[in-house]
């Protein structure tokens, strides 16, 4: 890599590695998320593939120095494609004892442990609820401990700038960043640009942060504590222009793109909720794109306003997380009844109730499928990775308008806040989303608001259109006219039409693909944000000669039409989920397949090793000479 | 659009659906006055949308030959807000009741009003839950015996006018279902108002709460029990127009004009006065006082959706129409060969 040869004049040994997993942990006020984002962006700019996992407490500022206040950011950067932020850490930066004690167990034996030794005073230890200094413990000898006086060196670096001690200490994260950049041969330039852009109006702060960053780098180069730095070469990604994307940002951009492709303004009704709010923040910046963001008085108003906008002919979207989706349930049923296009996005978090607001989970699948009164089916799609949120948003709107139906998109906290490189598409190359609003029939024939096309979709007639005046509502409709009807046979017919319409979506979605052999001992079936981990685990086990394939579902309702055949082609089906077995229940119910569950509800994603262990258990060891799947 | 609008008649606004309210229900009168008033707005029917929630009153949209949505309980204001933001070319009415607007939908009612969304909200107040067959409502008086309050209600009622005022309503009015001319004129003024207009209509539910408003409806007594508000005029009422409202400190009092009190001593109505007058009028309740009907308040304040759209316009003026390709490539990107 020539990109940073100018800034790195390695006087020490340089080791080439193919991937690195680092976690930065500190107090939630220490700027760990910023540090992690910078490391991610810098690594992506170097051409590495990256995957990230921010992990922060629900409290904005939990008591300083306590275990509850620890905020972490994990990033894997690699010279090959990566789909997970990594299982075990190659390096951990711990800015205080609480960060060390809550994170060290994920560090691999012999892994690099960098601590701010100035933050291990008796007071710090007490705040972290520690009786003894962990830096003097037995277990710490398992790791390559590097004690750096980060606080003192940062203060010295900024000493003559006239900052208060508190202000000086705010630069500690940049010192740590400089050290990490040296360690992994990252260029400081992108972060220097960031510092100039962010603090340009406060020259003192800008200068202090720059100095701290450079001081961290210089420390790495001169200290005798570190003899080796590492290089990670560029990954071989498909050609194109890339940028780093977070899931919520990708979702917002996907919505804006879908609006453009369908020639619509975007109406976005939302009520703030973790971890979905960033979509609202992102969209509210793009008013010149015709994006109307409406921060409603509550979740119900958010979805109802979206329904009102949909009736008026806008592209209407509402977003929330599990608790908010529960509140929207009645209105989602109304949208099913009205047969209006609407996107409902659920960025899942740990539940039930308020649950774990900042932690990830996949436990809303059954809620979005069935959490409404009456027979109220609607299509459900799940994004599989941060960048995939972009494509999922566009596809969901295509389905919503083609079938005149509300569509749910499932995301989760893990992909919403995670990031990965995104190959930037050319908007002109994306297929348009054609929408036709009917006008008055020229022959003067009667307009039927609930007439059906070949997909069973009804016409999207919008107010303001002469001669198409009609009334919609939550009461059962008479087939065709849409007038209120309590007729027994009509109700049954309409229930079936609405269900068949959703089932018809299976005709337009692509057939399900499988990664690996089309039959064998084990099929791993996953959905949503567990994609990367499941894919990586299955790949590893295939390389190890196991008879295993991976089937990742984007479409959860309806299922792809070939899914039943796929499931029956393997001896066993394993369904890993971050819930207690929701997809498994559906697969068993729909396909009478004796699927095995592998379930975790800890507010954390799977690790690859958890899955490879399970796959090992369910498949036979490779025989000598057995064919290895490619 | 069209150069000259055909002159529409009330029947042009009637849908082909049979009206299914109980015979004798006050809703019929409100429906009739609405149809009578609409042609005066000079709007073609396709530009009008009626949005409702749930309850007897909320069946209203089905009976209008306009666009309409019978939504879910209490949420019509939210639906109307989304519709108006995306389609400011439409005239939007919200039809609601005391339970729909003040119980289950209380929150949305408040926020519609405080935002000053340009819709006309007609609140059919019958002080009872009719469609669920006779439970007390948030406007039922204390002590009212209903199916769910056999020993009388212990809930203190809400006053719709005061709730609207607390949320900063720019137009507040009250009328009575059976006073057809008054009702039609109030509906017209409300529909002409720019911003949220709230009209409380005393509406009789002759099945579950018959006579709740008799004092205000009865031809023999209504001139003594109601006070017709007129902007800039002294507050005089009574069959012989011999009684007035005078301010005594901060309290209104009924005075007898025959005892030598001059009109100039009376309280004068001012639709643009601050909220104090609205509260004072809203607190005047039967039988101590005549209950005011008419326009309590009519002021101007920026309209929510106009401001929302104004920001969109300003952003376009400043940054031009959005260019997605440009946005995607802004910031840090890199090439992979």
Q: pLDDT tens digit string along A571-587?
A: 999 999 999 999 999 99
Contact indicator for A336, A303 with CB cutoff of 8 Å: no
Residue A277 pLDDT: 97
Which DSSP state fits A263?
Answer: T
User: Is B1 a residue whose pLDDT tops 90?
Assistant: no
- Give the one of B61, B87, B332 whose C-beta lies nearest to A471's C-beta: B61
Predicted pLDDT of residue A56: 82
What is A13-232's CATH number, 1.10.10.10, 3.40.920.10, 3.40.190.10, 3.90.550.10? 3.40.920.10
* Chain A residues near residue B66 by CB distance under 8 angstroms: 469
d(CA B50, CA B67): 6
State yes or no: cis peptide before A420, omega within 30 of 0. Answer: no
Residue B4 has pLDDT above 80, yes or no: no
Cα B258 from Cα B236, distance rounded (Å): 12
Q: What pLDDT does residue A5 have?
A: 41
Say yes or no for a CB contact (<8 Å) between B86 and A294: no
Residues of B within 8 A of A256 (CB-CB) are: 322, 324
Q: A168: closest CA among A130, A204, A129, A118?
A: A204
Provide ipTM, 2 decimals: 0.97
Long-range contacts of A476-481 (CB under 8 A, 24+ apart): A476/A337, A477/A337, A477/A450, A478/A450, A479/A450, A480/A448, A480/A450, A480/A451, A481/A448, A481/A449, A481/A450
Rounded Cα–Cα distance for residues B73 and A473 (Å):
11
| CB-nearest partner of B71 from A190, A474, A483 | A474
| B81/A474 touch (CB, cutoff 8 Å), yes or no | no
Closest to B297 in 3D by CA, of B162, B201, B108: B162
pLDDT digits (tens, 9 = 90+) for B164-199: 999 999 999 999 999 999 999 999 999 999 999 999
- In this prediction, residue A1 carries a pLDDT of 35
Parts of chain A belonging to CATH 3.40.50.920: 520-618
Q: Write the residue in A253, A309, A464 that is nearest to B85 by C-beta.
A: A309
pLDDT for res A11: 67
Q: What is the mean pLDDT of each run of 10 residues along chain A (630 residues)?
A: 43 90 93 92 93 85 89 95 94 97 96 96 96 95 96 95 93 96 95 94 95 96 92 93 96 98 98 97 97 98 98 98 98 98 98 96 98 98 98 98 98 96 97 97 92 98 97 97 97 98 98 97 98 97 97 98 98 98 98 98 96 98 58
Q: Which CATH architecture has domain A520-618?
A: 3-Layer(aba) Sandwich (3.40)
User: CATH no. for residue B77?
Assistant: 3.40.50.970
Q: Using an 8 Å Cβ cutoff, are A389 and A383 in contact? A: yes
Q: Measured in whole angstroms, how far is the alpha carbon of residue A566 from the centre of its chain?
A: 27
Query: Does the beta-carbon distance from B46 to A468 stay under 8 Å?
Result: yes
CB contact under 8 A, B324 and A256: yes
Longest Cα separation, chain B: 99
For residue B237, being part of any structural domain is answered with: no
Average pLDDT over residues B221-250: 96
Give the torsion sign (CA, B274, B278, B283, B284): positive
Sheet with strand A380-382: strands edge to edge: A291-295, A266-270, A315-320, A342-348, A406-412, A380-382, A555-557
Within-domain flag for B276:
no
Nearest to A307 among B70, B79, B333 (CB): B79
Q: pLDDT at position A62, please?
A: 82
- Residue count of chain A: 630
Query: In chain A, which residue's Cα lies nearest the Cα of B58?
Result: A473
Among A241, A314, A471, beta carbon nearest to B68: A471
| A243 CA: distance to closest CA in chain B (Å) | 5
Mutation site for A-interface testing, chosen from B12, B38, B79 by largest number of A Cβ within 10 Å: B79
Task: Quote the minimal CA–CA distance from A151 to chain B in Å.
Answer: 31
Give the number of beta-carbon pairs within 8 Å between A and B.
208
- How far apart CA A149 and CA A398 sit, in angstroms, is 56
Nearest to B6 by CA among A382, A89, A137, A466: A466
* Structural element, H or E, at residue A616: helix A608-618
Q: CATH 3.40.50.970 in chain A, residues?
A: 243-429
How close, in Å, is residue B208 to chain A by CA atoms?
Answer: 23
Interface test with A, best of B35, B65, B86, B92 (most A CBs within 10 A): B86
Distance CA A156, CA A573 (A): 60
Question: Is residue B321 one of the residues assigned to a domain?
Answer: no
Superfamily of domain A243-429: Thiamin diphosphate (ThDP)-binding fold, Pyr/PP domains (3.40.50.970)
Q: 3-state class of B226 per DSSP?
A: strand
Mean pLDDT to the nearest integer, B216-238: 97
Which residues in chain A touch residue B308, judged by CB atoms under 8 angstroms apart?
292, 294
Q: How confident is the model at residue B270 (pLDDT cuts 50, 70, 90)?
A: very high
The total number of structural domains in chain B stands at 1
Judging contacts by C-beta atoms under 8 Å, the chain B residues touching residue A257 are: 324
Question: Cβ–Cβ of A288/B111 closer than 8 Å?
Answer: no
Range of the domain at B186: 10-217+302-309
H-run or E-run covering A213? helix A203-222
- Cβ–Cβ of B87/A312 closer than 8 Å? yes
Is B269 contained in some domain?
Answer: no
Alpha-carbon distances, residue A425 vs A253, A391, A417 (angstroms): 12, 10, 21
CB contact under 8 A, B70 and A475: yes
The shortest CB-CB distance from B72 to any of A302, A334, A470 is to: A334
């Amino acid at each position: 890599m020539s990109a940073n040869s100018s800034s790195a004049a390695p006087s020490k040994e340089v080791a080439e590695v193919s991937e690195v997993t680092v976690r930065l942990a500190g107090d939630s006020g220490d700027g760990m998320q910023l540090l992690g984002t910078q490391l991610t962006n810098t690594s992506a700019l170097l051409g590495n593939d990256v995957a990230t996992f921010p992990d922060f407490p629900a409290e904005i500022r939990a008591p300083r120095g306590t275990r509850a206040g620890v905020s972490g950011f994990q990033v894997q950067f690699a010279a090959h494609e990566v789909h997970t932020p990594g299982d075990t850490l190659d390096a951990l930066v711990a800015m205080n004892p609480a960060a060390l004690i809550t994170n060290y167990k994920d560090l691999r034996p012999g892994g690099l442990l960098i601590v701010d030794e100035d933050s291990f005073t008796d007071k710090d230890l007490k705040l972290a609820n520690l009786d003894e200094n962990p830096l003097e413990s037995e277990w710490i000898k398992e790791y390559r401990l590097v004690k750096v006086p980060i606080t003192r060196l940062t203060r010295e670096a900024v000493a003559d700038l006239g900052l208060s001690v508190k202000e000086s200490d705010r630069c500690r994260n940049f010192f740590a960043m400089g050290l990490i950049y040296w360690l992994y041969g990252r260029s400081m330039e992108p972060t220097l640009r960031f510092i100039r852009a962010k603090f340009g109006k406060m020259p003192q702060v800008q200068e202090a942060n720059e100095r701290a960053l450079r001081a961290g780098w210089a420390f790495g180069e001169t200290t005798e504590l570190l003899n080796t730095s590492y290089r990670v070469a560029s990954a071989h990604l498909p050609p194109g222009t890339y940028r780093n994307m977070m899931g919520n940002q990708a979702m917002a951009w996907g919505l804006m793109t879908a609006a453009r492709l369908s020639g619509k303004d975007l109406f976005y009704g939302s009520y703030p909720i973790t971890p979905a709010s960033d979509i609202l923040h992102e969209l509210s910046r793009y008013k010149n794109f015709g994006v109307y963001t409406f921060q409603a008085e509550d979740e119900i108003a958010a979805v109802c306003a979206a329904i009102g906008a949909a009736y008026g002919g806008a592209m209407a979207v509402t977003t929330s997380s599990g608790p908010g989706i529960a509140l929207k349930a009645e209105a989602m049923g109304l949208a099913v009844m009205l047969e209006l296009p609407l996107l409902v996005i659920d960025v899942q978090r740990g539940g039930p109730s308020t649950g774990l607001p900042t932690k990830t989970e996949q436990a809303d699948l059954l809620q979005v499928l069935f959490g409404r009164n009456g027979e109220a089916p609607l299509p459900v799609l799940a994004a599989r990775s941060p960048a995939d949120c972009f494509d999922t948003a566009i596809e969901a709107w295509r389905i919503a308008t083609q079938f005149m139906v509300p569509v749910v998109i499932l995301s989760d906290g893990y992909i919403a806040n995670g990031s990965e490189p995104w190959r930037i598409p050319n908007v002109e190359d994306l297929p348009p989303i054609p929408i036709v609003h009917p006008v008055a029939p020229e022959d003067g024939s009667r307009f039927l608001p609930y007439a059906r096309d070949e997909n069973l979709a009804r016409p999207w007639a919008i107010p303001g259109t002469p001669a198409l005046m009609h009334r919609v509502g939550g009461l059962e409709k008479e087939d065709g006219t849409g007038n209120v009807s309590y007729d027994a046979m009509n109700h049954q017919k309409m229930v079936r039409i609405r269900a068949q319409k959703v089932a018809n979506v299976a005709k337009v979605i692509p057939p399900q693909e499988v990664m690996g052999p089309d039959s064998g001992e084990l099929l791993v079936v996953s959905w949503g944000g567990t994609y990367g981990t499941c894919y990586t685990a299955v790949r590893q086990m295939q390389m190890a000669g196991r008879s295993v394939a991976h089937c990742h579902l984007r479409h959860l309702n309806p299922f792809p039409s070939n899914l039943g055949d796929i499931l029956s082609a393997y001896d066993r089906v394993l369904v890993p989920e971050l819930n207690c077995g929701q997809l498994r229940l559906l697969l068993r119910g729909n396909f009478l397949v004796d699927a095995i569950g592998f379930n975790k509800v800890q507010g954390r994603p799977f690790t690859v090793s958890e899955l490879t262990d399970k796959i090992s258990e369910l498949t036979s060891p490779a025989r000598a000479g057995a064919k290895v799947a490619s | 659009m069209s150069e000259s609008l055909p002159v529409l008649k009330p029947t042009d606004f009637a849908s082909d659906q049979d009206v299914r309210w109980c015979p004798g229900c006050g809703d019929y009168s409100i429906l009739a006055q609405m149809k009578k008033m609409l042609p005066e707005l000079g709007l073609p029917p396709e530009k009008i949308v009626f949005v409702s929630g749930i309850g007897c009153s909320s069946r209203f949209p089905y009976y209008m030959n306009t666009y309409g949505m019978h939504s879910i309980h209490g949420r019509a204001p939210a639906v109307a807000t989304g519709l108006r933001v995306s389609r400011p070319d439409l005239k939007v009415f919200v039809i609601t009741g005391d339970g729909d607007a003040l119980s289950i939908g209380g929150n949305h009612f408040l926020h519609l009003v405080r935002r000053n969304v340009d819709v006309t909200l007609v609140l059919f107040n019958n002080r009872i839950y009719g469609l669920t067959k006779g439970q007390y409502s948030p406007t039922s008086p204390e002590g009212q015996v209903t199916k769910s309050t056999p020993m009388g209600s212990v809930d203190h009622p809400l006053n719709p006018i005061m709730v609207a005022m607390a949320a900063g309503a720019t137009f507040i009015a009250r009328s009575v279902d059976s006073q057809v001319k008054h009702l039609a004129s109030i509906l017209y003024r409300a529909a002409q108002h720019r911003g949220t207009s709230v009209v409380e209509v005393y509406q009789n539910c002759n099945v579950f709460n018959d006579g709740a408003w008799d004092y205000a409806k009865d031809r023999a007594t209504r001139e003594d029990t109601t006070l017709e508000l007129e902007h800039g005029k002294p507050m005089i009422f009574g069959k012989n127009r011999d009684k007035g409202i005078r301010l005594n400190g901060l309290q209104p009092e009924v005075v007898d004009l025959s005892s030598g009190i001059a009109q100039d001593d009376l309280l004068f109505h001012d639709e643009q006065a601050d909220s104090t007058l609205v509260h004072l009028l809203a607190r005047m309740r039967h039988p101590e006082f005549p209950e005011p009907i008419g326009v309590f308040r009519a002021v101007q304040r920026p309209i929510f959706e106009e401001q929302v759209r104004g920001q969109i316009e300003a952003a376009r003026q400043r940054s031009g129409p959005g260019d997605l390709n440009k946005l995607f490539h802004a910031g840090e990107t890199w090439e992979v060969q």
